[in-house]
Chains A and B, each alone.
Chain A
Amino acid sequence: MGRDTENLTQPAITGEQLRLLEKLCNAVAVSGDERQVRRLVMDQIKPYVKEMRIDALGNLLASQEKDSQKPLEVMLAAHMDEVGFMLTAEDDREDGIYRFELVGGIDPRWLAGKPVVVGPNHQKGVIGCKAIHLTTAEERRNAFTVEGLRVDLGGGGAKVGEWGTFATPFQKLGGSIRAKALDDRVGVATLIELLKYDYPQVNLEVAFTVQEEVGLRGAKVAAHALNPDLAIVVDCTFAYDLPLQEEDSFYAPENERYNTRLGFGAAIYLADRATISDPRLVAHFVRTAEEKGIPYQFRQAGAGATDAGAIHLQRSGIPSISISVPGRYLHTPASIVRISDWENTLRLIYHALQTLTVDILKSDR
């Protein structure tokens, strides 16, 4: 089956994993057309899985060899789709210029003046904006809106309905990675890595989901079909750990709304807008991290959602938790993650799966 269970004591991020992540990040797969990533993943996981299938919405569902002695069925999920845009109409005046609408939560103020890729053939283009010389100071006080911006492909060739996204190439910056779509290609890469190992009490079902960015749709139907004992979602979550601007009155100022911070390890979710993590799973992950000395942080509760939001409400309920890699500037042309945070996330989930037993669900939630 190709799984190496003897030599590696725990997973690691080496050149091999970085090269895979690069391929994944450079692929274009906006919510609604996840083909490119799905194909890449299928190639990668073939040696490590017994069964693979694609469901009605396009989710890729895979499972390791099922061992009936193993009492726990665990679902891992990461989403294949990224945020982007769809060409919605040709501009009335110029050829090769298109109106577009956003797919997923993108702040329009990050869009102007960026290179983009459109369509299955990665056609190159830009989201341009008028030269500053042709603007007034008054005008520049107002933010750009999607209604006012256009995708310019420098000539025809693209069709209304095609998807596109940012054209940022993957790049390693010392101990960090800068790329687009780290949300959630880093999760996808993590799942691929985890599939290479064997877990004593756990039959692993892996869902590479679609359409997370437009409403957790793939995860909903995947969870309904798999109906596991519990689920672990691996995503990439915002890090707003930037410096403050203003001075506080009496004390030195602190950024209190960082959500997560780069360099502080795997982010464990307690609660977001869509899910209150099962406390039994939270306790298990915290225990595992402490015992193995893996750096971890609690993602601040409040906004946001992951596939767990849809998964945990399926059928009669599925105990769920999300563990994410912190990332800066998600849903913008260029995001940044720390390789150490990724490695710690990978290791934390690996060890948590290794030590999972059926006792975890014995006590009432």
Chain B
Amino acid sequence: MKTNHISTLLKKLASPPGLSGYEESIANEVETLWQPLVDEISRNRLGSVLGFRQGAADPPRPRLMMVAHQDAIGLMVSGMREGFLRLTEIGGIDHRILPGQLVQVHGKRTLPAVIVQPPHFLLPPEAQEGSVPLSYLWADTGLEEKEVQRLVQIGDPVSFGRNYIELGSDLACSPSMDNRASLCALTLCLQELKGRRHAWDIWAVSSTQEEETLGGAATSAFQIRPDLALVIDVTHASGPGSPSHKTYPLGKGITLGWGPTVHPRLYEIFKELAQKLEIPFKMEPMPRYSGTDADRLQTVAEGIPTMVISIPLRYMHTPVEIVSLKDIQRAARLLAEFAVGLEIDFMDKMKWDETPKT
């Protein structure tokens, strides 16, 4: 069954912790998966994985870059007291979800632990009411102090416990669906491209450190200098407490970004393509910025026409992120058909209306 295959792939990609800056585990997984699907695999100097597929047209060939960030949010050990670990964040986390969370401390060994909130009489007066700030929470590994000192040091990443759950026939829930769901779509796209012909050179990029600096995509783009860039990320799905005018229903389609970060011509072309392919989509207004790799990517060097395609995701930046497998498939299909449909003179279509004729 199609969605079983997607679920298996998604689970493979969601499993490695790969916290921002400490992404070896996910980078290796991506390399393994992409190796049979591309002509060359390499790593950018900051650690992004670059998969290159040569186009079929004669040189010089234009270059398409498709990027999904591989890094995930999490925590990091910032101190130790009597065997308990103090934590700091990597990426943005609502501290209120932390008490009771099962985590893994990546020290000399991977140590399971739980994040705990002290009872109020062990907290200073300013932290006793309301939600307890991260600086007062502890991670408890259950080990003796000496063991902890031997196995753990400041700077060790701490990831949410891996727990992949299938919900119903279409939904999947796990930590790091932001952005492994998009990586899954990108991988499916590459699987589709393997059997198809495309005129352009294609660079698939699994970028580093989106959650911290948006640095991976931008530095990869500086290296590749693509003519076009497509960013695949996640957006907010509707859910309890979320405003309906800023969210999109799960399983009912993907979103196409619109705003200063997106090249308007690219948006139009993606819109027509999605309609032609009968892929349900909604326009996602991004009046100021996209909140994705596109924000830095667009202004690399002399500027890159950029498009943002997003997969709706519920409970973003928590360990229980939910996505629809169908939406992942839709995104993959849209990317693949766009890439395959790129004619060698496509960039002529990207000219602004009033471009002077030379």
A277 interfacial contact with B, CB 8 Å? no
Question: Closest residue of chain B to A53, judged by CB?
Answer: B356
Q: Judge whether B285 and A88 touch: CB under 8 Å.
A: yes
A52 touches B356 (CB 8 A): yes
**B354/A39 in contact, CB under 8 A:** yes
Which residues of A are found within 8 Å of B353, using beta-carbon distances? Answer: 35
Tell yes or no: B79 within 8 A of A by CB: no
Please report the C-alpha to C-alpha distance between residue A215 and residue B300 in the assembled complex, in whole angstroms. 14
Task: Tell which of A33, A39, A214 touches B289, judged by Cβ atoms closer than 8 Å.
Answer: A214
Which residues of the other chain, A, contact B305 by a CB distance below 8 angstroms? 56
User: Which listed residue, B259, B302, B355, touches A32 by the CB 8 Å rule?
Assistant: B259
By a CB distance below 8 angstroms, the chain A residues around B259 are 32, 86
Chain A residues with Cβ below 8 Å from B350 are 56
Residues of A within 8 A of B298 (CB): 57, 217
Give Cα distance in the complex from A88 to B350, angstroms: 25
Question: A54–B355 contact, CB under 8 A?
Answer: yes
Residues of A within 8 A of B303 (CB): 55-57, 59, 221, 224-225
Task: Chain B residues near A92: list those with CB within 8 A.
Answer: 244-245
Alpha-carbon distance between A217 and B304 when the two chains are bound, in angstroms: 11
By the criterion of a CB under 8 Å from any partner CB, how many residues of chain A are at the interface?
37
- Bound together, the chains give a CA A54 to CA B265 distance in angstroms of 14
A160 at the interface (CB under 8 A from B): yes
Q: Which residues of chain A come closer than 8 Å to B351, judged between CB atoms? A: 54
Known contacts: A56-B303, A88-B245, A224-B302. The answer to whether A103 contacts B352 by CB under 8 A is: no
What CA separation (Å) do A225 and B301 show in the bound complex? 7
Q: Evaluate contact between B287 and A101: CB separation under 8 angstroms.
A: yes
Inter-chain contacts of A39 with B (CB < 8 A): 354
- Given the interface contacts A32-B260, A56-B304, A57-B303, does A161 sit within 8 Å of B355 by beta carbon? no
Q: Could you mark each residue 215-251 of chain B with 1 if its beta carbon is under 8 Å from any beta carbon of chain A, else 0?
A: 0000000000000000000000000000011100000
Using Cβ atoms and an 8 Å threshold, which residues of chain B touch A161? Answer: 258, 283, 285
A221-B218 Cα distance, complex, nearest whole Å: 13
A3 CA / B263 CA spacing, docked (Å):
35
Give Cα A101–Cα B246 distance, bound, in whole angstroms.
11
Query: Once the chains are docked, how many angstroms separate the CA of A58 from the CA of B264?
Result: 10
Q: Which residues of A contact B245 (CB under 8 A)?
A: 88-89, 92, 99
Taking a contact as CB atoms under 8 Å apart, the answer to whether B260 and A211 are in contact is yes
Residues of A within 8 Å of B356, CB to CB, are 42, 52-54
Residues A34-71 near B (CB distance < 8 A): 35, 38-39, 42, 52-59
Distance between Cα atoms of A258 and B151 in the complex (Å) = 59
Determine how close the nearest CB of chain B comes to the CB of A257; give it in whole angstroms.
27
What residue of chain B has the Cβ atom nearest to residue A86's Cβ? B287
With an 8 A cutoff between CB atoms, is B288 at the interface? yes
Could you say which of A31, A33, A160 contacts B285, with CB atoms under 8 Å apart?
A160
Residue of B nearest to A90 (CB): B245
Any A CB within 8 A of the CB of B299: yes
> Bound state CA distance, A68 and B287, in angstroms?
43
Q: How far is the CA of A59 from the CA of B287 in the complex (A)?
A: 19
State the CA gap A221–B304 with chains docked (Å).
9
> In the complex, A32→B290 CA distance in Å?
13
A220 touches B287 (CB 8 A): no
Query: Which residues of chain A have C-beta atoms less than 8 A from B288's C-beta?
Result: 31, 101-104, 214-215
**How far is A210 from B259 in the complex, measured between Cα atoms in Å?**
13
Q: Name the B residues within 8 Å of A59 (CB-CB).
A: 303
A166 within 8 A of B: no
A 213-235 binary contact with B (CB < 8 Å = 1; else 0): 01101001100110000000000
Question: Is A38 a contact of B354 with CB atoms below 8 Å?
Answer: yes
A85 at interface, CB cutoff 8 A: yes
Chain A contacts for B287, CB-based, 8 A: 32, 85-86, 88, 101-103
Contacts of B285 in A (CB 8 A): 86-89, 101, 160-161
Q: A38-B354, A53-B356, A99-B245 are in contact. Are A215 and B258 (CB under 8 A)?
A: no
Known contacts A42-B356, A58-B352, A99-B245; A215/B263 CB under 8 A: no
Candidate in A56, A87, A225 with the most chain B CB atoms within 10 angstroms: A56
Q: B301 touching A35 by the CB < 8 A rule?
A: no
With a CB–CB cut-off of 8 A, which chain B residues contact A85? Answer: 287
B302 to chain A, nearest CB (A): 4
Could you tell me the distance between the alpha carbons of A244 and B242 in the complex, rounded to whole angstroms? 44
CB <8 Å contact, B302 and A55: yes
Partner of A31, one of B260, B263, B299, B301: B260
Interface residues of B in 279-329 (CB under 8 A from A): 283, 285, 287-289, 298-305
Which B-chain residue is minimally distant from A215 (CB atoms)?
B289
> In the assembly, what is the distance between CA of A188 and CA of B244, in Å?
40
- Chain A's closest residue to B258 (CB) is A161
Contact partners of B264 in chain A: CB under 8 A: 32-33
Contacts of B263 in A (CB 8 A): 56
How far does the alpha carbon of A221 sit from the alpha carbon of B302 in the complex, in Å?
4
Task: Return the chain B residue nearest A32 by Cβ.
Answer: B260
Interface centre among B244, B264, B350 (most CB of A within 10 A): B264
A192 to B303, CA, bound (A): 24
Q: Taking CB as reference atom, which chain B residue is nearest A88? A: B285
With a cutoff of 8 Å between Cβ atoms, the chain B residues found around residue A88 in the complex are 245, 285, 287
Whole-angstrom distance between the Cβ of B307 and the nearest chain A Cβ: 12
Residues of B with C-beta under 8 A to A87: 285
Say yes or no: B283 contacts A214, CB within 8 Å. Answer: no
CA of A222 to CA of B40 in the docked complex: distance in angstroms? 33
Return chain B residues, CB-CB under 8 Å to A42.
Answer: 354, 356
Which residues of A (66-88) have their CB < 8 Å from a CB of B?
85-88
Most chain A Cβ neighbours within 10 Å, of B287, B301, B304:
B287
A225 CA / B244 CA spacing, docked (Å): 42
B354 and A54 within 8 A (CB): yes
B350 to chain A, nearest CB (A): 8
CB neighbours (8 Å) of A89 from chain B are 245-246, 285
19 CB contacts below 8 A, A to B, read A32-B264, A38-B352, A39-B354, A42-B356, A52-B356, A53-B355, A54-B355, A56-B263, A56-B305, A59-B303, A87-B285, A89-B246, A92-B245, A160-B283, A214-B260, A217-B260, A217-B299, A221-B303, A224-B303
5 additional A-B residue pairs with CB within 8 Å, beyond A86-B259, A214-B289, A221-B301: A32-B264, A54-B355, A56-B302, A59-B303, A217-B298
Q: Which 7 A-B pairs have the closest CB atoms?
A: A32-B260, A221-B303, A56-B303, A89-B245, A86-B287, A225-B302, A88-B285
